[in-house]
Amino acid sequence: MIAESAAREVVDGGPVRLGVLGSASIAWRRMLPAMAGRPEVRLVAVGSRDLARAKLFTERFGGEPVEGYERLLERDDIEAVYVPLPLTLHAPWVERALRAGLHVLCEKPLTGDLARSEVLVRLADELGLTLMESLMFVRHSQHRTVRELVNAGTIGEIRSLVAEFAFPPKPPGDMRYDSVGGGAIAEIGVYPLRTALLYLGNRLDVLGAAVHRDPALGVDLSGAALLATPEGATAHLTWGMEHAYRSSYELWGEKGRIIVEWAYTPPASHAPVIRIETAAGRERRTLPPDDHFGNVLSAFAHAVRTGEDVGLRGAEILRLAALMDKVRARAVALPRGDDE
């Protein structure tokens, strides 16, 4: 058992010394390549239950391979960890990392429900540690541009929002189809839900929701929800792991629309496109490429070094967790033809 401790001492105030707790695909494909390009962080070690897999990661990205998550947390040369483990492992290992005095950047969502997220957020606050949820898309500059347009009154007051994120079925045995992975709302539904919070605020009521759950797999595969603000703006959200790929959202205001064409998973090399439609005409605006994974890492490092709340922390984590709970509570099961 790791004893509870305060944040580990910063030796030189240089790059945040990171360990990776797990060898997930998202770390290999996106986060560790982004880490290599950010001077604010330095990869020290990768921990895996399979030492050969840890070595595969460190041969490509640097650092030392470590067999076992516990041994990684015991190292005295790291001050923070990135946690890309399956959802059901988030809560226990994030808690262990915090009690070991380590700052934590955890893959989204932090946990599967509000109660467990509250425990971890409270613990991080008590220990004076940074706990950040890596819902990286909100750190992409294209969404800042959209918010600037909305704040400037380009489309007037938002009347409705539509957000859709889905991808085709993965091969059998994929972690997403196991209860350890949390199902579709945790894997992909959090993106449309967070979009609604981003543009419509925190006072969202869930008017209705539905999910398609596979009883054999024990997880939900897709879903939809209808939300509304007290002022009457609505959000229609759809997500799933059994669709053709789609990753977009649309804001419909009293004076026009803004459509974000590749909202949630653009690669760092992609120049995003947003469409603006008003009475003055239609504009297709191309924006500079941006790396939202790298941006999250930079924000995390800044929070670790300064203690500042730079977002994706505390209250933001809990608002998303609370909305997920509300959707699950209202969701009804969707039938399928082969279910009859």
Residues annotated as catalytic are: 108
How far is it, in rounded angstroms, from Cα 81 to Cα 45?
A: 9
How many helical (H) and strand (E) elements, i.e. helices and strands, does the chain have? 11, 15
- Give Cα separations from 13 to 75, 78, 94, 262 (angstroms): 18, 13, 24, 37
Q: Can you say whether the dihedral through the CA atoms of 195, 196, 201, 205 is positive or negative?
A: negative
The C-alpha R_g of the chain, in whole angstroms, comes to 20
Helices (H), 5-77: 25-26, 32-36, 51-61, 69-74
| Three-state secondary-structure class, residue 247 | strand
**In degrees rounded to 5, what are phi and psi of residue 105?**
-110, 115
Phi, psi of 305, rounded to the nearest 5 degrees: -75, -30
The residue to which tokens 């997930």 are assigned: 24
Picking from 233, 216, 237, 241, the residue whose alpha carbon sits closest to that of residue 225 is: 237
The torsion region of residue 226 among left (phi > 0), alpha (psi -120 to 50) and beta comes to beta
Cβ–Cβ < 8 Å for 260, 285: no
The residues with which 67 forms a beta bridge, in sequence order, are 48
The answer to whether the beta carbons of residues 68 and 49 sit under 8 Å apart is yes
